[in-house]
Structure 1
Amino acid sequence: MANPIVHIANLNLQYAGTTVLCDLNWRIYPGEHWIIGGKSGSGKSSLAKAMVKQEKASGEIIFRFDQSNPMLAQAYYVANWYQFANLEGDRNFYYQQRYNKQQRNDTLTVYADLIHFGKKQQLDFRDAEPILEALGFGNCRETQLIELSSGEHKKLQLVQALWLRPQLLILDEPYTGLDKRSRENFNSLLDDMANAGTTLVLISNDRNIPDAINRFAHIENGQLHAVSHLDEIKQDEQRQRKPFPYFLQQAPLVDHDTMVELRNVSVRYGEKEVLKNISWQVKAGEKWLLQGPNGSGKSTLLSLLNGDHPQAYATDIFLFGKKRGSGESIWDIKQKIGIISPELHWYFDKNATVWHAIASGFYDSVGWFIQVKYEEKKQIEQLLDFFDLLQDKDKLLHTLPLGKQRLALLARTIIKNPQLLILDEPCQGLDRSQTAHFNAVLDELSGYGKTLIYVGHYESQLPACLDNRLVLEKGEVVISERREKNSIAG
C-alpha cells in the first residue's frame, strides 16, 4: 500500500478546559477525498485547524507531499469566516462600518487583495480569471472588502484556495452563503482539482458535495470514525419541542397594516448601482422569502429596512406607516424589528456571553451595555430554557458550537417580540436536524401574528410558513409574487 499523504497519531486537543480531540488517529491515502461531518461542537473545525497549526494540539501530524505532483506541496486551510484587515492591519470592524463612505475606503478592494495574495504566493493573475467567472465574482473586483456580503467573502476565500492549487485542501464550511449556481460551479472546480492531484478534505454537513468525495467520517468522543456512506454520518439529535414562552404567544402590537413599503428605491456607490427602482410592499402578518444570487442586492435592501444604511434617508421608504426621515430616530425603527444575519453574527461582540447576547436584543446593540429590568430578565431565562441554553448562559457566545450560537442569536432576535422579523440566511452551517428544529420554531412562531422576511437560497431548507417571494437579480426585482401557503418550501 502507498504511504499516506497525511498521518495523524494520538492527537489531543483541549479548548476552554474541555477535551475536544482525544488520541485521534487518521490516515489519508492518495486518491482519497474526505468529508468530515457530524454533531455540532464535536471537534471538526478544531481538527482542521490543528492540522495547519492554528490550534495547539499534542500528538503527531505528518504530511508526505509528492514532489512529482504538479500541485503545490502544501496543506491549505480555508476557515469558516474570512478575516480581513484594513490598510493599517486592523481587524476590528463594527457592524455598520461597511456603509460608512469614508471608512469603506479604509480596506482593500477585492482586486487589490487578490493581487497581494498572488504576489505573496507567486501566482499569475490570469490563472484566477476563470475561477472568478465560474463563481460569478468577476464584477466585484473594485468592491471594498468591508462592503462584501457573507457569500461574497466566502467566494473570495475560495478563489484564493482554488488559484493556489495545493496538494491538500481543507475547506471548513465551504458552502456558507453560496447561491445555487455558485455552489454547482464550485463543486465542478473541486472535481477538476481532485483529478489534477489535490486531496480534498471538506468540513461540512451539506448534502450536495463534489463527485470526487469518496470517504466519509464524523468525530465522536474526540475520535474520528469512518463510515461507508454520507447518510451514516451522525447528526445532532432532534430536540424535544417545548411550549413557547407566554410573551411570544402574544401577537405583537402593530401600529400600521403595512410594515414595509419601497417606492422606486435605488442605491448607488459611485458608478455602481446596487439597487435599481425597487418597489415592494410587506403587509402585517405576511411571510416573505427574499432570494437572489450573491451580489444581487439582498443585503443592501435589508440594511435599508433596518436603518443601518445612510441612503435610507434619501429614498422613498416607508416603515410601519412612516416615511424614513420624517422625525423618527433609528432606535424607534429598530425597536420594532428583530434581525439576524451573517454580518451581525460576524461582527458581534467577542466579549458577550450567551446571556448578554440575548439581553442585547432589547436595546439593539451588538453587545450588552445596559442594565435590564426584572421582567426582561424573566424573558431571557424563559428563552434560555426554551432553546436549551441554560447550561451555556455564562459562556462566551463565540466559544459555543455554531448551532448553539445561531439559536442564541435567534433568541436575541425575538426577545422583544418585534413587529417585523428579518432573518438573513439564519441556517448557514447548520446540519439537517438543526435546520429542521430552527425552521419548526419559526413556523410555530409565525402563527402568533409575526411578520417575517426570510433570506434563503435552498428550497429544501426553508420554513413552511413562507407564502410570498421576492427575487432580486443585479439589483432589480425579477419576481414578486404572493403564493398559496406552503407552495414555496420544498
Structure 2
Amino acid sequence: MQPLVNIQNLNLKYQQKQVLVDLNWTIQHGENWQLGGVSGSGKTSLAKIIARKQTAIGDVKINFNTASELPAEVLFVESWYQFKNVEGVANFYYQQRYTSQQAKNSLTVHAELVSYGKENNLHLDQVEPILEALNFSTFASSQLIELSSGEHKKLQLVKALWLKPQLLIIDQPYTGLDVASRKSLNILLDKAAAAGVQLILICNDTALPTSINRFAEIKDGKLVAVDSFERSSHTENRLKEIPDFLKQSPLYSSQNIVKMVDVNISYGEKQVLKNINWEVKAGEKWLLQGHNGSGKSTLLSLINGDHPQSYANELYLFGNKRGSGESIWDIKKRIGLISPEFHWYFDASATVWQSIASGFYDSVGLFQQLPYSKAAQVDELIEYFALTESKNELLNHLPLGKQRMVLLARTIIKNPELLILDEPCQGLDQQQTQHFNQLVDALCANGMTVIYVGHFESQLPKSLTHKLVLSQGEAIENTKAYTIQKELA
C-alpha cells in the first residue's frame, strides 16, 4: 500500500525568510505523529500545506484508503478559530462577549453543530457521546461569542472527532483545556485512531494519546525524526537582566487592589458566578484555576472593567467602589492584561513596535507619538524579548508564538499595579514559556501584584503564593498558603 502522505523536496519562503528547505516526509498507514519543536519553525505552515490550505513548491501526495468507510479528507483544526456572526461576518470586539445576551448576534453551539452535521451528512445522535466526554453538553444553548478560548477549542475538537476524517491534523490540541478535558481528549483520540483515523498533533506536550507512535520536529527547514518530546532535565536558562524601569515597584494608588463581596453574575437563568468573596492586596501573587466554564474569564472581566454587570455588584477596584465615578480607562491604566481572547481581538495590522507601545495607552493600535522616554522603554523591551529583527514587521506576519511574546511585552510596558496573565504561555514553546515565567518571577520580586491563570503547576512561575479555585461559578478554594513546591511534591 502506498503511504498516506508522501512529501518530497518541499520549499516554502515567507516574508523573504526560507521556512521549509527541501523537506521530505513519508507517513505510512497506521502511523500517528507528534510534530513538535520551537515556535516559528514552520510546523503550522507544513500542516496547512498538507491540508491544501497553503501553497508551496514541491511534491505533496495524499493517498487515501479507498476501502475505508471514513471520509477521504484531511481535516486541519487550527490552533485558533475565527467564528462569524449570523450575517457571516467576524467583526466582533473584545467586550462584546459580555453583552451578547442582548445582541443575539452569533449562533448557539447547538445551531453550529446542526449546520456542521448537515454540511457533512452526520447524525446528531453520534455527537452526543463526544460532547459528554469533553463535558460540553451543557453549552448547547450558549452563543459562540460567549465561549472562552478553551470552550472554542472543545467545539472544534468535537466537530473533528464527529467527522472522523482519514487524516486529522490538530494544531495545539490541548490549548486552553483543563486537566480532566485533556485526559478525556486523549481517550477520544485513541478511539478515533482505533477506528482508522490517522493523527498529526502539533504540540510539545508529553501527556499524549497512546496511539501516537512517531515523533518529529522541523530544524533548519527540514523534518527530523526524534525519539519523543519528554521534558529534558537540563538546567534553566539564565534570565537576562530586566530593563531598569521594571526593577521599580509599581506606584500603588491603594493597598486594596480587588475586593468582591457576594458577587453574582447571571445570563438569564444561567448563573456564572455565585457569591464570590475575594480580596487581592497590593503585592500579592495569585493563581486562579478552575475547569473550562468554571467562571474564570467572567471573574477577570469584572476586574478589567469589561463586564457591564460589575455595577450591579459590590466590587471595589484599587480602593474605589465600582460605579463611584471612575471610567473604564481609569481602571485599565492600572492593569496590564494578556488573555487568549484579547489576542483574538487585537489589531494585528500594527507593527511589533507599535503593538508594544500601544500598551501605554491601553489601545489596540498606536495613535500618537511617544515621548523619548517611553520610546526608549519600548526599545528596551524589544531587545529583552529578542524581537529586534521583527520590530518593524506587522504583527500578523509573525508566528503565533512570537505574536504572543509581543503582546506579553505590551502587557508589562507600563509597569502596572496589577498584572493579569490569563494562560499567557499559550502558543509558546518550552524555552519561551520558561523565559517568560522567569520574567514574571523577577517582576514579582519587585513588588508587582499578579493574577495568573494556568492549569499545570509545572508551567507556572515559582513566585505565586495565593490560590483561588472556581467550580461551577463558586469559589471552592481560597488560600494564602499556596506554593508550587507543595503542589509538585
TM range (shorter): over 0.9
Aligned CA distance change for structure 1 residues 485 and 385 (closer, same or farther; 3 Å): same
| SS in structure 1 of the partner of residue 87 of structure 2 | coil
Q: Does 1:220 align with 2:219?
A: yes
C-alpha distance in structure 2 between counterparts of 1:464 and 1:292, whole Å: 19
C-alpha distance in structure 2 between counterparts of 1:35 and 1:98, whole Å: 34
Specify the alignment match of 1:371 in structure 2.
369
How far off is 1:64 after superposition? 1.3
Trace 1:80-479 onto structure 2 (pairs within 5 A). 80-101=79-100, 104-231=103-230, 241-479=239-477
C-alpha distance in structure 1 between counterparts of 2:446 and 2:404, whole Å: 22
How far off is 1:372 after superposition? 1.8
Q: Partner amino acid for 1:278? A: I
Percent pairwise identity: 57
Trace 1:32-71 onto structure 2 (pairs within 5 A). 32-71=31-70
Contact 2:101–2:267, Cα closer than 8 Å, also in 1: no
C-alpha distance in structure 1 between counterparts of 2:101 and 2:182, whole Å: 34
C-alpha distance in structure 1 between counterparts of 2:249 and 2:38, whole Å: 35
Contact 1:149–1:299, Cα closer than 8 Å, also in 2: yes
C-alpha distance in structure 2 between counterparts of 1:192 and 1:478, whole Å: 33
Aligned CA distance change for structure 1 residues 238 and 404 (closer, same or farther; 3 Å): farther
Please, what TM-score do these two structures have when normalized by structure 1? 0.96
What's the CA shift string for 1:329-348, capped at 9, x where partnerless? 11110011111000011111
Contact 1:168–1:200, Cα closer than 8 Å, also in 2: yes
Please, what TM-score do these two structures have when normalized by structure 2? 0.97
Contact 1:98–1:147, Cα closer than 8 Å, also in 2: yes
Contact 2:464–2:482, Cα closer than 8 Å, also in 1: no
How far off is 1:228 after superposition? 2.6
Contact 1:104–1:146, Cα closer than 8 Å, also in 2: no
- RMSD of the alignment, in Å? 1.7
C-alpha distance in structure 2 between counterparts of 1:67 and 1:372, whole Å: 62
Contact 1:344–1:366, Cα closer than 8 Å, also in 2: no
| SS in structure 2 of the partner of residue 379 of structure 1 | helix
Contact 1:109–1:143, Cα closer than 8 Å, also in 2: yes
C-alpha distance in structure 2 between counterparts of 1:111 and 1:435, whole Å: 36
Q: Partner amino acid for 2:452? A: Y
Structure 1 alignment gaps of length 5 or more:
none
Aligned CA distance change for structure 1 residues 248 and 230 (closer, same or farther; 3 Å): closer
Q: Partner amino acid for 1:424? A: D
Structure 1's consecutive aligned runs of 4 or more residues displaced over 3 angstroms after TM superposition are 101-104, 237-240, 484-490
| SS in structure 2 of the partner of residue 73 of structure 1 | coil
What's the CA shift string for 1:8-57, capped at 9, x where partnerless? 11212221222211221111111110000011111000000011121111
How far off is 1:369 after superposition? 1.9
Contact 1:297–1:475, Cα closer than 8 Å, also in 2: yes
Contact 1:252–1:418, Cα closer than 8 Å, also in 2: yes
| SS in structure 2 of the partner of residue 449 of structure 1 | coil
C-alpha distance in structure 1 between counterparts of 2:98 and 2:476, whole Å: 25
Contact 1:467–1:487, Cα closer than 8 Å, also in 2: no
| SS in structure 1 of the partner of residue 72 of structure 2 | strand
C-alpha distance in structure 1 between counterparts of 2:230 and 2:135, whole Å: 31
C-alpha distance in structure 2 between counterparts of 1:422 and 1:73, whole Å: 44
What's the CA shift string for 1:371-406, capped at 9, x where partnerless? 222211111111111111122111112222333222
C-alpha distance in structure 2 between counterparts of 1:90 and 1:448, whole Å: 44
Q: Partner amino acid for 1:83? A: Q
Structure 2 alignment gaps of length 5 or more:
none
Specify the alignment match of 1:14 in structure 2.
13
C-alpha distance in structure 2 between counterparts of 1:100 and 1:368, whole Å: 26
C-alpha distance in structure 2 between counterparts of 1:111 and 1:159, whole Å: 12
Contact 2:237–2:435, Cα closer than 8 Å, also in 1: yes
| SS in structure 2 of the partner of residue 230 of structure 1 | coil
Aligned CA distance change for structure 1 residues 312 and 73 (closer, same or farther; 3 Å): same
C-alpha distance in structure 1 between counterparts of 2:257 and 2:365, whole Å: 27
What's the CA shift string for 1:411-449, capped at 9, x where partnerless? 111111110000000011222222111111111110011
C-alpha distance in structure 2 between counterparts of 1:238 and 1:353, whole Å: 31
Contact 1:266–1:278, Cα closer than 8 Å, also in 2: yes
C-alpha distance in structure 2 between counterparts of 1:401 and 1:418, whole Å: 27
Contact 1:466–1:488, Cα closer than 8 Å, also in 2: no
